[in-house]
């Protein structure tokens, strides 16, 4: 008689940057630790091309079951205002979706644990009612987790806006955070985005444990501080488990444009191509996109560039339309003649490209990135140095840390008061990474960190052991 596999549920929020690492965790629980996983998906009445492609992948293992929560009708909740920002929208939809969570968990036979997302901490209350241990999977760096855990104390201690503080913010065990690098949502404590973020981070102590998509050798000081510093013990901080880097391993090249990227890369010399993309939702202003194009042209370096329709200001203009390619003709948004002048040297792709397949290709030698944590980890795991170009959320903090603390990225210079990065500076930093001496140093450093990442995930590595510790708790609870 076959023994039933232990059953846990995984619940990300709707953002692609959260969905992907949660799915990779679910796969790892199934493939490496013998679990049956119910993967709970927040849905709305609005289609999501990228989400559908991800969840319909042939690489989903048999014991990972996709369970779509009842769709939220976004037309019936108060999201019509154009000023509603990304986090407020995500949190509002998530809160509405989780109204069904209790009945779904009961229908699933009450899994032995639930792993959920930072912006779905309402699930803690449901799990408490059902006596299900609830864990948080944080898809950001350990340093940012330390900041989030510290935020309620900071909020209590500081009367003025954090952005107006005269000195950098010192989170125990972390490099000082310059106020210019602060996450968007904490720059104004009066707005809904701050209230939502504060609500969720203040509930972190309710978790049975916090899983972090990082590893001990990458962030030794922040991880040690969260685990041992008296301030974090006083919060009290739940047990912390660094289990990363968990990145997307498999990618289906499902259309002609994706195949064209790889065919084009196959014809280029090793380490010669700069890949430019701003994640699943990032967009540039028209003026900045123009300068980036002209700077690329001046650099004379090979490139693949994912171009989206620009927005009024740089930010997350495509966040809720990830994966869509309709009505996006790059020729309309790029300088006149740019595509003709760079033909053969560069390849422009509309809206979306197979990022993992490109970063893992031997011809790719650099990555101009928005510094979302998933993208940063994918770049590190594949040994590709970065040009840090943060746009929103915690990306400025990531960019500084990747550049100054770990040394796997460089940042373009922007003078005080400037709104955009000019073409000459873009030319300089692209040449530096792709052919300069400083670029060689960064390239060497990222290769070292790549080896560290691989060791952490080995069967005798620190991250494998950390996740094994968690799953052993779950298996023990079954007895």
Give me the CATH number covering residue 380: 3.40.50.2000
Within a domain: residue 60?
yes
pLDDT at 380 over 70: yes
Residue 251 lies in a domain: no
Per residue in 135-146, pLDDT (tens digit) is: 999 999 999 999
pLDDT score, position 84 = 56
Give the pLDDT score at 317.
45
Check whether 93 has a pLDDT greater than 50. yes
318 pLDDT above the threshold of 50: no
pLDDT of 3: 61
User: Nearest 5°: CA angle at 139, between 67 and 74?
Assistant: 50
Name the DSSP letter for residue 18.
Answer: H
How far is Cα 411 from Cα 419, in angstroms, rounded to an integer?
15
What is the DSSP track for 163-180? Answer: GG-SS-B--TTS--B-GG
- 181 and 278, same domain (yes or no): no
| Whether the bond into 90 is cis, omega within 30 of 0 | no
Is residue 233 one of the residues assigned to a domain?
yes
Residues 467 and 416 in one domain: no
Q: Provide the pLDDT confidence category of residue 328 given band limits of 50, 70 and 90.
A: low
- Residue 300 and residue 217 share a domain: no
pLDDT for 254? 63
Domain co-membership, 200 together with 310: no
Q: What is the residue whose two structure tokens read 């989030």?
A: 148
Specify whether 402 is located in the same domain as 447.
Answer: yes
| pLDDT, tens digit (0-9, with 9 covering 90-100), for 250-309 | 776 666 778 889 999 999 999 999 999 998 778 999 999 999 999 999 999 999 999 998
Instruction: Flag whether pLDDT at 133 surpasses 90.
Output: yes
Same domain for 398 and 469? no
Q: Are residues 405 and 474 in the same domain?
A: no
Same domain (yes/no): 407, 395: yes
Residues noted as catalytic: 18, 117
- 203-218: pLDDT as tens digits: 999 999 999 999 999 9
Give the residues across from 240 on adjacent strands. 210
Which residue would you say has higher pLDDT here, 312 or 89?
89
Residue 1 in any domain: the answer is no
Give yes or no: residues 445 and 464 share one domain.
Answer: no
Domain count, the chain: 2
Are residues 291 and 400 part of one domain? yes
In this prediction, residue 2 carries a pLDDT of: 54
123 and 143, same domain (yes or no):
yes
**DSSP type of residue 258:** H
Residue 365 lies in a domain: yes
| Owning domain of residue 135 | 7-246+457-478
Cα–Cα distance between 294 and 338 in angstroms, integer?
A: 8
Give yes or no: residues 159 and 304 share one domain: no
């Amino acid at each position: 008689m076959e023994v039933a596999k232990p059953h846990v549920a995984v619940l990300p929020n709707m953002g692609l940057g959260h969905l992907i690492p949660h799915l990779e965790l679910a796969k790892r629980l199934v493939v490496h630790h013998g679990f049956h996983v119910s993967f709970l998906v927040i849905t709305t009445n609005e289609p999501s091309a990228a989400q559908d492609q991800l969840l319909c992948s042939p690489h989903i293992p048999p014991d990972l079951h996709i369970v779509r929560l009842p769709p939220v009708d976004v037309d019936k909740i108060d999201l019509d205002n154009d000023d509603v920002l990304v986090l407020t929208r995500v949190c509002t939809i998530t809160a509405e979706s989780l109204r069904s969570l209790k009945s779904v968990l009961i229908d699933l036979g009450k899994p032995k644990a639930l792993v959920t997302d930072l912006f779905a901490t309402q699930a803690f209350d449901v799990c408490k009612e059902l006596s299900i241990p609830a864990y948080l999977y944080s898809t950001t760096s350990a340093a940012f987790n330390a900041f989030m855990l510290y935020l309620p104390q900071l909020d209590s201690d500081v009367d003025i806006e954090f952005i107006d503080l005269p000195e950098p913010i010192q989170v125990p065990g972390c490099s000082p955070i310059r106020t210019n690098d602060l996450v968007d949502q904490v720059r104004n404590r009066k707005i809904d985005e701050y209230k939502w973020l504060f609500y969720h981070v203040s509930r972190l102590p309710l978790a049975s444990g916090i899983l972090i998509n990082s590893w001990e050798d990458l962030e030794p000081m922040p991880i040690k501080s969260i685990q041992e510093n008296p301030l974090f013990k006083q919060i009290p901080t739940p047990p912390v488990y660094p289990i990363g880097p968990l990145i997307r391993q498999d990618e289906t090249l499902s259309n002609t444009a994706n195949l064209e990227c790889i065919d084009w890369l196959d014809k280029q010399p090793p380490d010669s191509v700069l890949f430019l993309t701003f994640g699943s939702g990032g967009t540039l202003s028209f003026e900045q996109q123009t300068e980036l194009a002209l700077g690329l042209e001046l650099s004379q370096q090979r490139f693949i560039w994912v171009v989206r329709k620009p927005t009024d200001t740089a930010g997350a203009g495509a966040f809720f339309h990830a994966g869509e390619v309709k009505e996006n003709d790059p020729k309309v948004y790029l300088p006149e003649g740019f595509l003709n002048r760079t033909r053969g040297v560069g390849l422009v792709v509309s809206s979306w490209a197979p990022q993992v397949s490109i970063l893992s290709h031997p011809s790719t030698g650099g990555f101009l990135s928005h510094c979302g944590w998933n993208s940063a980890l994918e770049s590190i795991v594949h040994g590709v140095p970065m040009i840090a170009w943060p746009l929103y959320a915690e990306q400025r903090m990531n960019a500084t840390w990747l550049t100054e603390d770990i040394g796997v990225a460089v940042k373009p210079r922007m003078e005080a008061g400037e709104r955009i990065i000019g073409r000459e500076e873009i030319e300089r930093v692209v040449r530096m990474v792709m052919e300069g001496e400083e670029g060689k140093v960064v390239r060497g450093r990222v290769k070292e960190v790549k080896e560290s990442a691989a060791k952490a995930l080995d069967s005798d590595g620190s991250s494998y052991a950390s996740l094994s510790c968690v799953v052993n708790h779950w298996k023990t609870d079954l007895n």
